Amino acid sequence: MSNPSFLAELSDQFWKTFEAQPMNVFDIFDENTRPKAPPIPGATPAHRAAGKKLAMIHGMHLSALDETQAMMERVVAGEHQVGDLAEQINSMKLMGNYRQFGNLCGRECQFLDFHHTSEDNEIFPVIYANGGEGLKRVIARLVKEHSVVHELLERLATNVSDLLAQPGPGTFARTQETFTLLSRVVRSHFDYEQTELEEALGFYAVPF
């Protein structure tokens, strides 16, 4: 299953036969529309334990989101300090904080995009090819959610570029708004994905 040429061929077949339909970002939070993976006959605790690796990978991304969130809160707290001298000193610090927040956002954008690209090309095609109809519905939903995350990452990348070029309350607020929504979406998506794929990842020996 780890043969690169086999994975490439499987990925090509997957994307030729699968087309994600447009999805509204707020639809992600509707749990009633998320298909559930049926139990896989023959799956063992060892398979489920192997599948937990995805949750560990997700945990690293969530830690990065937490770090960026903390940086964002420090920027917000600094904006509300009063006093002429404090304002002058804080304005210089804010410039650095704006840039640091922007850099953290930009870095996590790249990491998340790489993570989802790996899933799209290596994980989803294997499960889709081997799983039953229930798992196929889960994969279809996950691909739709990936498209939403990708759109938010692109929007955040644009916001970050603007913020780094012109640090200030306006560009920060736009970046903050996009980041906050992305964080909510990613946390919900990760929880759904790692829960529904845990058994399949180990059972089908998916490489990741």
The model's pTM is 0.81
Instruction: Say how many Å lie between the first and final Cα of the chain, rounded.
Output: 11
pLDDT band of residue 1 (cuts 50, 70, 90) is very low
Q: Which domains does the chain have, with CATH numbers?
A: 42-201 (1.20.120)
Which pLDDT does position 129 carry in this prediction? 86
pLDDT band of residue 11 (cuts 50, 70, 90) is low
143 with 14: CB under 8 angstroms? no
Residue 114 pLDDT > 90: no
pLDDT band of residue 97 (cuts 50, 70, 90) is low
H or E, element range at 152: helix 133-165
Residue 182: CB atoms within 10 Å: 24
Q: pLDDT, tens digit, for every residue of 22-72? A: 678 888 999 999 999 999 999 999 999 999 999 998 998 898 888 888 878
Q: pLDDT, tens digit, for every residue of 62-94? A: 988 888 888 788 777 765 433 333 343 344 455
Residue 192 pLDDT > 70: yes
Q: Which residues contact 71 (CB under 8 A, 6 or more apart)?
A: 97, 100, 101, 104
Which pLDDT does position 163 carry in this prediction? 83
Look at residues 184, 203, 187, 188 and name the one whose alpha carbon lies nearest to residue 37: 203
More confident residue, 132 or 9: 132
Both tokens of 174, joined, read: 């736009």
pLDDT band of residue 9 (cuts 50, 70, 90) is low
Which pLDDT does position 94 carry in this prediction? 54
| Region 154-175 average pLDDT | 86
Q: Using CA atoms in the order 40, 200, 35, 8, what is the torsion angle rounded to 10 degrees? A: -130
76 in helix, strand or coil? helix
